[in-house]
């Protein structure tokens, strides 16, 4: 299995959250200001990057013709202010006909009532009734340079999206080292909950002092065995 698929599979199998993925990356990768428009969704996958710009959604309509099935489609709204870059009809096209996994928009949407009614897995910056203009716009050198940088960073990365927000694993971090860190974070969470729920330890004893490292005999053998895999 390719390392990209192994990382995605590990996250999905253990339902590793955006919080845990950020922790595994030393508190990095969080996409600021993005939040779900609908609660309860969980999406993990490879990012397909598209963009729109200059207060127009014309470029977006063109690019989403090539939206990849099963992808997390990332819409980069550049120089669009607080205007919505899409609404219900585009969302329906993407989820029903292009069959994307999730939609992440670095900007605003409209038709919030419809997007909520359909319960689409969408992460956004905000909602507004004010839409972009549907007009062909010139790609300026400044926007082109920004797109190149953003596409290099985002396209092909892994996103983990849930009620807390979105966390990215950059392409250069999709490797065995990150996989091991994710597995450790998941183990650590299991141990912490055992210590607080079953042993009734305080969070200070558990998280700060990590008393379980000096008192491994209080842990189930299964957790101790997994700890040994990390030389702890």
The CB density around residue 208, as the number of other CB atoms within 10 Å, is 9
Please report, in range form, the residues annotated as the binding site.
Answer: 87-90, 110-111
Q: Which two tokens stand for residue 74?
A: 């990332």
Calpha distance 66→176 (Å, rounded): 31
Query: 44 phi and psi, to 5 degrees?
Result: -135, 135
User: Residues comprising the binding site for Mg(2+)?
Assistant: 111
Q: Which residues contact 203 (CB under 8 A, 6 or more apart)?
A: 196
Q: How far is CA 29 from the centre of its chain?
A: 9
Binding-site positions for substrate: 87-90, 110
Q: Which of 62, 124, 73, 67 is nearest to 103 (CA)?
A: 73
- The DSSP line for 25-75 is TTS--B-TT-EESSTT--EEEEEEEEEEETTB-HHHHHHGGGPPTT-EEEE
Nearest-10 Cα torsion for 167, 192, 229, 231: 100
The per-residue b/e assignment along 11-39, b for 16 or more CB within 10 angstroms, e otherwise, is beebebbbbbbbbbbeeebbbeebebbee
């Amino acid at each position: 299995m390719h390392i990209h698929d192994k990382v995605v599979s590990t996250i999905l199998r253990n339902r590793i959250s955006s919080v845990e993925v950020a922790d595994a990356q030393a508190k990095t990768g969080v996409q600021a200001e993005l939040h779900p428009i609908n609660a309860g969704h969980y999406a993990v996958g490879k990012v397909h990057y598209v963009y729109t710009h200059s207060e127009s959604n014309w470029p977006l309509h063109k690019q989403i013709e090539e939206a990849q099935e099963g992808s997390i489609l990332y819409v980069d709204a550049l120089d669009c202010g607080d205007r919505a870059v899409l609404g219900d009809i585009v969302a329906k096209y993407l989820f029903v006909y292009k069959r994307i996994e999730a939609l992440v928009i670095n900007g605003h949407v409209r038709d919030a009532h419809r997007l909520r009614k359909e319960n689409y897995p969408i992460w956004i910056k905000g909602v507004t009734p004010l839409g972009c203009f549907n007009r062909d716009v010139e790609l300026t050198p400044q926007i082109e340079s920004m797109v190149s940088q953003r596409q290099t960073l985002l396209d092909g990365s892994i996103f983990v999206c849930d009620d807390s927000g979105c966390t990215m694993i950059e392409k250069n971090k999709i490797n065995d080292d990150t996989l091991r860190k994710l597995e450790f974070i998941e183990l650590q969470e299991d141990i912490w909950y055992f210590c607080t729920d079953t042993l009734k330890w305080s969070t200070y004893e558990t998280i700060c002092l990590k008393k379980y490292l000096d008192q491994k005999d209080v842990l189930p053998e299964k957790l101790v065995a997994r700890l040994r895999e990390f030389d702890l």
